[in-house]
Structures are given as structure tokens and as C-alpha cells.
């Protein structure tokens, strides 16, 4: 298996293997307690995280492995100006696998090109968060017994929420669902994601009212407004608190609705909802540990190193200001021809896409 940078890096066989391994681990964790004995995982977290970092760490420890890493790059040589790639190369000499979270889009992809060991994207800016997607799909599949034919509402900050972009992209593989994308117009799903959904024939509606669709939903995926991605607090405050899921809304929802949330939640789910049996976000967070155990064990067992791809457009550059190539300027540009446009391999923006 290759480094996990995007859910769509997985073949169907690999995804089904991870799903069934996570189920086995959840059922009898003791059978897997020494599987990764002697192995070291580096968790390189350039951006704050509790759940994802703890979940990776406990996953490795429950497989019998050990951990090194940081959660504050200012306490490392990064603060002295060390490049992402130098840090990656050094850490690769000490560890067997890397989980990286970074505020800049495409950083884990860049690391994967230079690391001789597997790299897992633990969230890159507003771009992707594939291990959260594994968690979400595993949870939905367990609760609903299927990943098709569902009415799925996704509500909140659909512009900046990388869990949303990751999940929508992954669902292009599972046809027959109906998506209700519920957000303030200023926080709508980015154009580049909508274009991908259109090309894949995914059915979706962009709406602003949760009341309008809640009664139809099988799954409701709530998200917080991502304060750290706003240019100023004033801009954040203008949009924060747009949506709150409370018992009045839950009362009109289906009896078997599954309310999910990648967490942390702020004020988008009223406290009273936590005790409703349809509130499944704490189960979802626990599932994240089991699917990460399955991922780590599989990558350590069958890793295929990345090959540096060719730049298909030597005269073009990526214009996305949030792309890692704009921050670590020594990185080679890697533009590839997609079906209808040319894309940056790091951040997936169209090369002429200036948004
Ligand atoms: C998510 C993230 O970091 O993108 N959280 C997580 O991984 N547990 C969601 C969020 O921060 O809103």
C-alpha cells in the first residue's frame, strides 16, 4: 500500500481490507497488541490537534509500537528555519512511519515524495483529512450497513472544513446517495470540489436551511465554523453560530438518523443532543482509533514507496496561495493533466484557478 494522502489513493481491495481489519481489531483488540512491536511512529503535528494526534498515538501504542514527535513545531528545529523536507528526511531515519498534520495544503504529499517511509496525511490546511474520512465511512457503514442509497446532510463550514472535502470526494466512489450541502453562502463547498462531484455524477443540493431537509436525512454530518482559517476574528464572528442542531430539530428527524461530527464541536450541536441515542459522534471518534490501527499495521506490513512524478507542464506554476509549493519554494512544481484541466498534484487546484 502507498502513503495515505487522499482516500482515493486506496484501491477498493485496500479499502475493504482496512474496513474488515478495523472490525476485527475492534472485536478482539488483544489479538493485535504486539503486531507492531519494535516499530516507531513519528507524529509531526504542525497544527493543533487533540483527537487526531491522541488517536494516532494510542493506535500505535495499542499495536505494541512506540511514538516520537511534536505537537508544537516551535519547540523543534522548525523554529530555526528547517525546511519541511529536511525535517522529514531526518525523522525518516529515526521512525518507521510518519503521521503529519500541517496548516498548508499539500505538505504531507510533499513529505511523501522525499520520505523513504510511509506518510499519512493527518490533515493539510483546508484541503483533505483522509483518516477522518476512513473514520466517517467506517462509522456510516457500521450504522447503516451500506454506503449507498443514503440521504446525507452536511452542515456548517463547508468551505474551510477539510473533513467535508475529503468525505465528499470519497463518496464519489459510492454512488446512489443524495447530498444536502447546508451552509451560509459564504461558507459553501469550494468550486474545485463541486466540479469533481459534477464530473463524478454525484447528486447534491446546496441549501441554507437545515429545517428544510432534516426530516429526510439518514446521516447528518455537522461541522464547526473553522475559526483558524479566517483572516480576522470579526469575519469569523459574522458567520459563527449560523447553525445549531437542537432537540426541536431532532424531534422532526428520522428515528434512525445518525448524527456525526468530526469534533471538536463548539456550539453547532446543543448539549441536550449528546444524550440522544442518535448522537453518534463519540462512537465515531472511537472508531477512528480502530481504523487508524488497521491503517498503521497495513502500511508497516506492505508499504510501496512513492515515485517522483513527472511535471507535465514545465512552464506553469500553481497559483494557490495556500499550496505548499508557495511556502517551500524549492519544491518542484508538479502539474498533471486531468480529464478537463491541469491540476497541481500537491493541492489539487487547477493551475489557472486563482481562488
Ligand atoms: C477536524 C480537523 O482537524 O479537520 N478534527 C479532527 O480531525 N478531529 C475537524 C475540525 O477541526 O473541525
Q: Determine the residue of 52, 100, 103, 167 to mutate for testing ligand 1's pocket, defined as the one with the most ligand atoms within 8 A of the Cβ atom.
A: 52
Residue of the CA atom closest to atom 7 of ligand 1:
52
Which of 78, 133, 103, 140 shows the shortest CA–CA distance to 228?
A: 103
Cα(56)–Cα(350) distance, rounded to whole angstroms? 32
Q: Determine the residue of 224, 264, 292 to mutate for testing ligand 1's pocket, defined as the one with the most ligand atoms within 8 A of the Cβ atom.
A: 264
Neighbours of 240 (CB within 10 A): 16
* CB of 85 closer than 8 Å to CB of 112: no
- pTM to 2 decimals? 0.94
CA 339 / ligand 1 centre spacing (Å): 31
pLDDT for 310 beyond 80: yes
Q: For 206-252, write each residue's pLDDT tens digit.
A: 999 999 999 999 999 999 999 888 888 988 888 888 899 999 999 99
* CB of 133 closer than 8 Å to CB of 7: yes
CA 312 / ligand 1 centre spacing (Å): 33
* Helical pair 281-301 and 130-144, crossing angle rounded to 10 deg: 120
Say what the pLDDT of residue 228 is: 84
Cα(286)–Cα(113) distance, rounded to whole angstroms? 31
Say what the pLDDT of residue 328 is: 96
Say what the pLDDT of residue 354 is: 46
Cα(276)–Cα(249) distance, rounded to whole angstroms? 12
Q: Determine the residue of 48, 125, 154, 262 to mutate for testing ligand 1's pocket, defined as the one with the most ligand atoms within 8 A of the Cβ atom.
A: 262
Cα(167)–Cα(262) distance, rounded to whole angstroms? 11
The residue assigned the cell 506553469 is: 316
Residues within a 6 A CB radius of ligand 1: 49, 51-52, 123, 129, 132, 162-163, 223-224, 226, 262-263
pLDDT for 127 beyond 50: yes
Q: For 332-341, write each residue's pLDDT tens digit.
A: 999 999 888 8
CA 314 / ligand 1 centre spacing (Å): 35
| CA of residue 37 relative to chain centroid, distance | 27
Say what the pLDDT of residue 172 is: 95
Averaged pLDDT score across all residues of the chain: 94
Looking at the DSSP bridge assignments, the partners of residue 213 are: none
Q: For 75-124, write each residue's pLDDT tens digit.
A: 777 777 899 999 999 999 999 999 999 999 999 999 999 999 999 999 99
- Considering only 144-153, 176-185, 231-240, 299-308, which range has the smallest mean pLDDT? 231-240
Say what the pLDDT of residue 79 is: 75
Report DSSP state, residue 99. Answer: E
Pseudo-torsion of CA 2, 65, 294, 348, nearest 10°? -40
* CB of 175 closer than 8 Å to CB of 150: no
The closest-lying atom of ligand 1 relative to the alpha carbon of residue 157 is: 12
CA 286 / ligand 1 centre spacing (Å): 14
* CB of 179 closer than 8 Å to CB of 200: no
Cα(215)–Cα(82) distance, rounded to whole angstroms? 52
Residue of the CA atom closest to atom 1 of ligand 1:
262
Report DSSP state, residue 336. Answer: E
- Edge-to-edge strands, sheet with 219-222: 203-207, 178-182, 151-155, 219-222, 258-260
Say what the pLDDT of residue 331 is: 97
The residue assigned the cell 516499530 is: 39
Say what the pLDDT of residue 353 is: 47
Q: For 187-207, write each residue's pLDDT tens digit.
A: 999 998 999 999 999 999 999
Amino acid at each position: 500500500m502507498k502513503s495515505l494522502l487522499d482516500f482515493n489513493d486506496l484501491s477498493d481491495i485496500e479499502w475493504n481490507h482496512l474496513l474488515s481489519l478495523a472490525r476485527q481489531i475492534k472485536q478482539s483488540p488483544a489479538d493485535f497488541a504486539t503486531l507492531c512491536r519494535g516499530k516507531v511512529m513519528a507524529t509531526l503535528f504542525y497544527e493543533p490537534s487533540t483527537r487526531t494526534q491522541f488517536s494516532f498515538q494510542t493506535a500505535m501504542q495499542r499495536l505494541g509500537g512506540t511514538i516520537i514527535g511534536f505537537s508544537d513545531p516551535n519547540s523543534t528545529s522548525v523554529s530555526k528555519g528547517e525546511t519541511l523536507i529536511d525535517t522529514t528526511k531526518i525523522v525518516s531515519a529515526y521512525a518507521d512511519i510518519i503521521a503529519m498534520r500541517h496548516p498548508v495544503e499539500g505538505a504531507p504529499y510533499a513529505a511523501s515524495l522525499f520520505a523513504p517511509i510511509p506518510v499519512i496525511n493527518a490533515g493539510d490546511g483546508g484541503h483533505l483529512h483522509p483518516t477522518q474520512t476512513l473514520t466517517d465511512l467506517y462509522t456510516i457503514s457500521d450504522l447503516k450497513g451500506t454506503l449507498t442509497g443514503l440521504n446525507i446532510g452536511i452542515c456548517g463550514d463547508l468551505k474551510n472544513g477539510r473533513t467535508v472535502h475529503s468525505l465528499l470526494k470519497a463518496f464519489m466512489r459510492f454512488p446512489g446517495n443524495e447530498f444536502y450541502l447546508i451552509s451560509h453562502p459564504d461558507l459553501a463547498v469550494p468550486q474545485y470540489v463541486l466540479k469533481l462531484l459534477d464530473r463524478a455524477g454525484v447528486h447534491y443540493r446546496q441549501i441554507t436551511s437545515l429545517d428544510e431537509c432534516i426530516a429526510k436525512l439518514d446521516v447528518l454530518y455537522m461541522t464547526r465554523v473553522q475559526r483558524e482559517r479566517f483572516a480576522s476574528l470579526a469575519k469569523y464572528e459574522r458567520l459563527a453560530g449560523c447553525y445549531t442542531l437542537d432537540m426541536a430539530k431532532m424531534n422532526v428527524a428520522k428515528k434512525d438518523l445518525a448524527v456525526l461530527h468530526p469534533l471538536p464541536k463548539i456550539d453547532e450541536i446543543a448539549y441536550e443532543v449528546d444524550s440522544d441515542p442518535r448522537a453518534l459522534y463519540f462512537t465515531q471518534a472511537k472508531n477512528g482509533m480502530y481504523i487508524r490501527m488497521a491503517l498503521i499495521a497495513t502500511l508497516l506490513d506492505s508499504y510501496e514507496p512513492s515515485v517522483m512524478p513527472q511535471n507535465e507542464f514545465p512552464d506553469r506554476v500553481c497559483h494557490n496561495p495556500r499550496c505548499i509549493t508557495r511556502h517551500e519554494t524549492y519544491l518542484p512544481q508538479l502539474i498533471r493533466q486531468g480529464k478537463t484541466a491541469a491540476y497541481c498534484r500537491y493541492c489539487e487546484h487547477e493551475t489557472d484557478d486563482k481562488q
